[in-house]
Structure 1
């Protein structure tokens, strides 16, 4: 029978993420994070730090033989409303002294599970903790500490009294020193590639070189040690300005960096500022008192100069901030220009090699390079990327190709396990138009994320859905908030879109044109420019995107990597079926399995369902097609409301496509309650068709929407007369 234990008899391994999840009264295993004259900071979990005040100890703080990084046991006494954690002393400082151990995992399945005992216990303590002077520890051979100076004893009693009465003020705020205006020369980086661009993720605070240590030393100002230092060393020398990528060789040095604040978060101890210069990003810890925001006037986007000491926290670099100053005017402009130049140089692909020999792609190589630079720069800036594409096989191929290229870059840039979900979103569109509905959704989300999480406004990449005037309102709404917009489209792009797009990729605006280019093929070529390392993964995608007349160059490269015509057809059909169901969901893992991880079994299974559903529907539709002849032109007309299952696969647009491919009629018109689709091999202007039909049936509310699909909307009450007018207008253009 298991021994029944109480919380006081065991220690807990806390695996939560916020102070509110702790249970007062329990003993927890933690890690010594830092020291001050008023106590010890202990990490209970990443970002969850408590204070063990010296009044809670059973001995003098100076005699506590702990060091930063030591494993210790403490009791949670109280969690305050502001998130500060009051810790209590535990006389038991090894696992063997407790009757057991359990997991405290508030959000996980392991909560309450037993932990096997570790006979080794916590790491043995080694030496006097940093930040406690040897002079303040001296007792002239006594244990009571009676020989402490009168000033020190008075200070200790004052702090203990304040702690007992309010439990709110553990340290005195240190005012930043005067801003140093001189700007020394930059020290060139000498580290290897391995040390460059390291993402810093330290959540806690090292005491050495921090403001609270300075506060502790100020409290004892006039001691012999400080007087000696002042006489011998004089004022501290102004640190050199260095680049972040060079910090790997500067542990323990006082340095100066200049850059942009790209993030600021408050922990239970210090405030952590993420500062990016022209080379990389580094975490900088600034401390006023536990849980209190340091430098509240400094926020994301500010250009700053920061002086501090380089530390190594749990294997990752961090700067302990001594002085942080916002730069303005010419000083800020100079730093910003360095950042822009460095970002452009790092983000812009050195070369862009098309996946295959295709004139339409070769004509837009420079445009592809610009779009790739914008996407890569967003990753480097920790800016979210939102990809919008049509919920079609062609649209999914293009969107998934870009996703395949970007996700590895995000994983390289960020250490967070969920970074790829946080910084990249693919949102399919049921209609191939970026209208106000989609734009309002995106703007609402980005403003919420900006307000709640200080997240940057995203880069929006519109693949095959933003190239017509139907999308102008949506593009304009993004523009109001200055969100960058990359438009990638293989079809004809309206000239009005050129002014609204930050970057535009479309062969239709070149002399070459894009008659045989699919959006999926163009998206795959862009993806290869974004990340050349995934080129082999993308080789078969262009062939998958074509329903018919696949360019020979794309068939060849697909065949070269094991995707013959049967496999590419099965993939195309499988993607088309999955695109229909849950059309607003990205289905990231399923699409990845189909396009990149499948040996043929999954795609073959899904494509069988595609063909059965489509063949059954087409057979029913063909039996009910109305055959017309207008001015010697054969026209097939289908009432989809009456002779198809409107709320099941296939969608009306795909049904119209298939009927057109399988019927000999020159024109196919498939209509439903208030919309119709025109299919013909002839070159028609669907806007002109809608205009002519509107003149013929002014009460019909006829308008062209979704121009890419040759789709026209109308009022259902005028359906029959509108269909006749559209047929006449189409035939007139042939």
Structure 2
């Protein structure tokens, strides 16, 4: 016997009010005059209340559970195995029509009982009878002279079982109920699985077809395991079962290297009450597993405190992806801030993914991809989307979660985000560029310090470090990545200074700056590759400090030499003038007066020229413009400027210029058509001449 799951073993499904059987709803006591005492008669004459209902005429009674008929326990039908109330031998269906069982592929001789009616297939002949296959593991004999064709289905009764020898007899039956005979073993929680025959119940979170078996990843409320089913090389096993299906799996648990895997003998989808109960358990387990760590922020920051709950939401969403085998794409700007931000998340997630699904899942379920532009370009989103749709079609993977770090907040990101929304791909943005009000409508979570009273001086690397700490306790070893992001982005706020102070307890300030420069230099040559090992070596995450030190020294030295050579070429061609508002405007034609197709690229070249101008002009407000045939890069100091707003104004003002762009409030870039370069630059200089200085 087993406890009834419907009523929890109580035997009833709550209570209800019914008419009192004692007083028939009148509320007055009733007596048999022949048996009534004198005191009873006196009480009756005085209008006494019914003792059973207290005078209400209604009593509260328990409603029997329909599944167990009030017993609180369930048995099994001896013919078909269906659950029945305790004390009953057969279910109603078997009592009406005989039940014939079809053995699933996990069953063996031990699951047979004499008298069972089974559906088999004629699989061979011998002089005095036929061989009948009951599944691919069990075969019996029928001693008969009747004519049967090979592969003909036949109903048989088990006559005798002697070891592995099974004797059957044919049964002529026109009407019967066909049910599946499953392997009669207990369900084992995944976390308790050892080698041997097991049965699990869970949700299929991913399906991947290999050149050999089909790999199903199944999770229950205790863990996740791979289940390999083979119907032929490269043939999709159980095609009706896909990601999201609730299943019961029976098979042999074996070790593949250091990872347990179930070799599937049978798999079937759960429906009805079984599925509902399992779904409820899984939902509660996922909620607990995906609860992020509550950590104290490493620095005091009012904007970051306001963003804390949203950071927790991001951490929860990423953890849900880990425990449901949902792919994660981390898209980031290919500079020091974007790289450190993305690596913080990557390094926090990888240990969990490996623990849940092994190294293979770490390869398929997490991808970090750099973007050359500081926004989500259509080229990038089309590549991500095409890969995701192809993986779903070929391998049954879930569509991914896309998280954009150090890009995603601006007007230029809108078209790409709209494309993702058409396919229902969940999207998260963690950025510190000036935000567009349209972004919140297109993404699931949008974290930006500008939305909490902060500004771009709180870098994405700082935000992602704190999110990583909420995901995995090992993220505390990456505190220096926030400092590298701050130095790489020239952040000067109090938060940046605090993170740098924390990092200098382990690394000298100059070395942290060299790490940031090495990342910028390395990312230029990596182009569109993530360079995982190289990046980890630069950031001292590979546990090889000597190699880290030598690599950073080499890359930063080469980068500094390249910058010096570029400045030697550019500075003689920089033109300066004072605008009407007192701003020193420095202008450089990077198309004709800078090395191209080498490090530093135009954006960094303009930044280095701007830094040189600032060093040589004291505290004077400075705006530097580096322009090419169809673009301009702007850097500034000491001015109150909203550059995205300026771009929008120029776009409306100059018809046919094709103006677009964005960035932070005081730095950014602008694009236009080549034929309108002169007009755009003149209008930009005129607009800069009308802005105010800080203070």
TM-score (norm 2): 0.68
Which structure carries more strand by proportion?
2
In the TM superposition, residue 387 of structure 1 has moved relative to its aligned partner by 0.9
Counterpart Cα distance in 2 of 1:419 and 1:156: 55
- Alpha-carbon distance change, 291 to 459 in structure 1, aligned in 2, over 3 angstroms: closer
Does the 8 Å CA contact 2:129/2:141 hold for their aligned counterparts? no
Unaligned runs of 5+ in 1: 1-129, 134-150, 160-170, 175-210
Q: Does 1:362 align with 2:319?
A: no
Does the 8 Å CA contact 1:385/1:425 hold for their aligned counterparts? yes
Report what 1:611 is aligned to: 560
Counterpart Cα distance in 1 of 2:391 and 2:518: 34
Aligned residue among 523, 537, 543 for 2:483: 543
Report what 2:57 is aligned to: none
**Who wins on radius of gyration, i.e. which is larger?**
2
Report what 1:434 is aligned to: 376
Counting only pairs closer than 5 Å after superposition, residues 284-323 of structure 1 correspond to structure 2 as 284=227, 295-304=238-247, 306=248, 308=250, 311=253, 316=260, 318=262, 321-322=265-266
- Alpha-carbon distance change, 307 to 436 in structure 1, aligned in 2, over 3 angstroms: closer
Q: Deviations over 1:269-328 (max 9, x none)?
A: x86644322222345566789997654322232223x26466556784637545623426
Report what 2:137 is aligned to: 213
Counterpart Cα distance in 2 of 1:158 and 1:434: 69
Counting only pairs closer than 5 Å after superposition, residues 476-555 of structure 1 correspond to structure 2 as 476-510=418-452, 512-536=453-477, 538-547=478-487, 548=490, 549=492, 551-555=496-500
Report what 1:579 is aligned to: 523
In the TM superposition, residue 237 of structure 1 has moved relative to its aligned partner by 9.5
Report what 1:701 is aligned to: 658
Q: Deviations over 1:1-50 (max 9, x none)?
A: xxxxxxxxxxxxxxxxxxxxxxxxxxxxxxxxxxxxxxxxxxxxxxxxxx
Counterpart Cα distance in 2 of 1:267 and 1:541: 41
In the TM superposition, residue 492 of structure 1 has moved relative to its aligned partner by 3.3
In the TM superposition, residue 718 of structure 1 has moved relative to its aligned partner by 1.9
Does the 8 Å CA contact 1:212/1:288 hold for their aligned counterparts? no
Counterpart Cα distance in 2 of 1:271 and 1:446: 19
Aligned residue among 529, 533, 550 for 1:601: 550
In the TM superposition, residue 157 of structure 1 has moved relative to its aligned partner by 11
Q: Does 1:723 align with 2:667?
A: no
Report what 1:655 is aligned to: 605
Aligned residue among 133, 155, 162 for 1:225: 162
Unaligned runs of 5+ in 2: 1-106, 111-122, 143-155, 169-180
- Alpha-carbon distance change, 624 to 236 in structure 1, aligned in 2, over 3 angstroms: closer
Counterpart Cα distance in 1 of 2:205 and 2:652: 58
Q: Does 1:400 align with 2:343?
A: yes
Aligned residue among 711, 717, 720 for 2:669: 711
- Secondary structure (helix, strand or coil) at the match of 2:462 reads helix
Does the 8 Å CA contact 2:207/2:395 hold for their aligned counterparts? no
Counterpart Cα distance in 2 of 1:271 and 1:724: 63
- Alpha-carbon distance change, 264 to 245 in structure 1, aligned in 2, over 3 angstroms: same
In the TM superposition, residue 640 of structure 1 has moved relative to its aligned partner by 1.0
Report what 1:71 is aligned to: none
Counterpart Cα distance in 1 of 2:232 and 2:335: 55
Does the 8 Å CA contact 2:429/2:443 hold for their aligned counterparts? yes
In the TM superposition, residue 355 of structure 1 has moved relative to its aligned partner by 3.3
- Alpha-carbon distance change, 337 to 660 in structure 1, aligned in 2, over 3 angstroms: farther
Tell me the matched-pair count: 528
Aligned residue among 606, 618, 643 for 1:686: 643
Q: Deviations over 1:184-240 (max 9, x none)?
A: xxxxxxxxxxxxxxxxxxxxxxxxxxx522356999954442899999xxx989665
Counterpart Cα distance in 2 of 1:331 and 1:731: 72
Counting only pairs closer than 5 Å after superposition, residues 8-23 of structure 1 correspond to structure 2 as none
In the TM superposition, residue 374 of structure 1 has moved relative to its aligned partner by 1.5
